[in-house]
Structure 1
Amino acid sequence: MTIEYDFHEQVVLVTGAGGALGSATVEAFLDAGATVAAADVIAPDDDAHMLDTDSTRLSTHVVDFTDEGAVESVIETVLETHGRLDALIAVAGTWRGGDPVEATDIGTFELLFDVNVRTAFLATKHALPHLQESEGSIVTVASRSSLEGGDGDALYRASKAAVRLLTESIAAENEGVVRANAIMPSVIDTPANREAIPDADHESWVDPDEIADVIQFLASDAAAPTSGAAVPVYGES
C-alpha cells in the first residue's frame, strides 16, 4: 500500500542530506511537494554525495553542523530565501565501534558526540524559534542500540541515547506547539553497509526509502497526536 503525503507550501530542512538516509528523505519530501533545504558537510559535487540535486524546489548547503555559527547562518539563509521553516529532519550522524571502553580513544568519544549529539542539538536549538512560529515538527535519528548496552560500541550507543533523550525533552518543552520524535533504525540497507558486512542477512535490513516514509509520516499532520516518541524502524533486523 502506498501512502501519499502533501507538503506543498512547506519548507523542510534536512541535515546529513548527502548520505543514503538523508538523500532518500530529501527525495521523499520533494516528491510530496515540499521545498527542501538539503544540508551536509559534504559538497554536492563530491563523489560521496548521493543526492540528485536537479529540482527547482531544492537548495543545497555545505554546512558543518558542529559549528554553531554556521548552523545559525544556514537557518537564517533558509528563512531569508523561503520565508518559513516547517520541519527539521536531523539525519546527520556517524558510527564507530569495535573496541571495549578501556581501549577506546578519546577521539572516538569526541567524534561520536560531536557528529551525533552536537549536530542534533545545534540544529534544533536554532530551528526551534522558527518551528514554534509555524507549529512545525522535528524528527531526529537515534538508534535501536540506544535502548541497551552492548559489546564494542558503548560510545555510539550512549551518543544515540543522548539524541533520543534530547528529542523527548524538546517534545516536553514544546508540548502543543512543536512536535519532536526520534526514529530508531538498526543496520540500514545501504551499499556501504553491504560491503562492510557482506555475510549478514541483508534481506532483514530496512531500505532507506522505507525509513524516509516513516519520517514523512512523523512530520505530517497524520502524526498530530505523536510527540516525544522513539519509533522503531528496524524491521526484522
Structure 2
Amino acid sequence: MSNPVVIVTGAAGVLGQAVASHLGQAGYRLLLVDLNQPDWEGDSDAVSIGNVDLTQPEHAQEVVNQAWEYFGQIDGVVNLAGGFVWEPQAESSLETWDRMYAMNVQTTVNMCQAVLAQFQDQQSGAIVNVGAAAAIKAGAGMGAYAASKSAVLRLTEALAAENKQFGVRVNAVLPSILDTPANRASMPDADPADWVAPASLAGVIEFLLSDLARDIHGAGIPVVGRVTI
C-alpha cells in the first residue's frame, strides 16, 4: 500500500507546523490547508493550500476534492483549525460566542461532513479533532472558548458512535496551554516547561491516526503537561 494521506487543517500555525513535520517524518503524505499559506520544507510528499475558509462548507468539500485530485486517496483528517479568546462574561458579547462557534465548531463540522461519506464507502479512515482541556473544566474568561471546545468533544463522541460500524475512527485530543511564542509573550511570568510542547501533542495525534489506535473510538484524551485542570 502507498503511504497514507492525511489532511491537516490549521496547518500554518505553530501546532499545525509541528503536526505536519511529525507526520511527514513518519511517512505520511499531506494536504496542508489554512487561511494563511502553510509553509512546508519537509521531505515528505505534501501539498500546501492557503486561503481556505473552513467555516464555508464548500471550501471543506473543495479540500477533499483537492486531496483526491493530488493523491487519489484520503486516510485521515486532523482538524486543527480554530481560535481562542479570553474574555470575562461581564465584558463579553454574543459576537464572541458566534466567532468561537464558527472558528472551532463549524470548521470541524464542515471538514467531517465533507469526508465522512468517502470514509464510510471505503470502510476505513481516522479523524482526530483538536479540542481543549477547557472542554473538561473551564477557567475564568474562557466561557465562549470552552463551550465551543466542549461542542467539539461532544461532536467527536457522536461521530464515533455513528461511524465505528463503518471502520471509521473519530477521536479528540484535549491540550492545555501550548508552548508557543504567542503564549510565552502573553504569560511572561509562567514556566513554559509546565506546558505542552507542540511536538509532544503531534505524537499523540499521530498515534490516534495509526493502526495502534484501531480500538479507540470517541475518546477525548487530555494532553496537559503539568498544568492543573
Report the CA distance between 1:108 and its aligned residue: 1.0
**Structure 2 runs not aligned, ≥5 long:** none
What aligned pairs does 1:50-61 form with structure 2 within 5 A after superposition?
51-55=39-43, 57-61=45-49
Decide which of 17, 24, 31 is 1:30's aligned counterpart: 24
Report what 1:48 is aligned to.
none
Report what 1:153 is aligned to.
142
Q: Report the TM-score, using the length of structure 1 for normalisation.
A: 0.90
Q: Is the contact between residue 14 and residue 90 of structure 1 (CA under 8 Å) also seen in structure 2?
A: yes
Report what 2:61 is aligned to.
72
Report what 1:214 is aligned to.
204
- State the one-letter code of the partner of 1:111: R
Decide which of 115, 128, 142 is 1:127's aligned counterpart: 115
Distance 1:193 1:151 in 2: 17
Report what 1:90 is aligned to.
79
Q: Is the contact between residue 196 and residue 225 of structure 2 (CA under 8 Å) also seen in structure 1?
A: yes
Report the CA distance between 1:130 and its aligned residue: 2.1
Label 1:56 to 1:210 Cα distance change in 2 as closer, same or farther (>3 A): closer
Q: Is the contact between residue 53 and residue 59 of structure 2 (CA under 8 Å) also seen in structure 1?
A: yes
Distance 2:224 2:58 in 1: 34
Report what 1:12 is aligned to.
6
Report the CA distance between 1:34 and its aligned residue: 1.0
Report the CA distance between 1:55 and its aligned residue: 4.0
What aligned pairs does 1:82-231 form with structure 2 within 5 A after superposition?
82-100=71-89, 102-132=90-120, 133=122, 135-176=124-165, 177-231=167-221
Distance 1:173 1:56 in 2: 33
Distance 1:27 1:129 in 2: 28
Label 1:81 to 1:143 Cα distance change in 2 as closer, same or farther (>3 A): same
Q: Report the TM-score, using the length of structure 2 for normalisation.
A: 0.93
- State the one-letter code of the partner of 1:178: V
Distance 1:82 1:201 in 2: 42
Q: Is the contact between residue 8 and residue 32 of structure 1 (CA under 8 Å) also seen in structure 2?
A: no
Q: Is the contact between residue 8 and residue 35 of structure 1 (CA under 8 Å) also seen in structure 2?
A: no
Distance 1:129 1:81 in 2: 19
Q: Is the contact between residue 10 and residue 85 of structure 1 (CA under 8 Å) also seen in structure 2?
A: yes
Q: Does 104-113 or 160-169 show the bigger shift? A: 104-113
- State the one-letter code of the partner of 1:88: V
Label 1:33 to 1:54 Cα distance change in 2 as closer, same or farther (>3 A): closer
CA offsets 1:109-165 (integer angstroms, 9 cap, x no match): 121000100000000100112222150100001111111243211010000000000
Distance 1:56 1:95 in 2: 30
- State the one-letter code of the partner of 2:69: E
- State the one-letter code of the partner of 1:10: P
Label 1:160 to 1:9 Cα distance change in 2 as closer, same or farther (>3 A): same
User: How many percent identity over aligned positions?
Assistant: 36
Cα RMSD (Å) of the superposition? 1.5
Report the CA distance between 1:31 and its aligned residue: 0.5
Distance 1:29 1:131 in 2: 20
- State the one-letter code of the partner of 1:165: R
Distance 1:130 1:57 in 2: 22
Report what 1:39 is aligned to.
33
Decide which of 209, 222, 228 is 1:232's aligned counterpart: 222
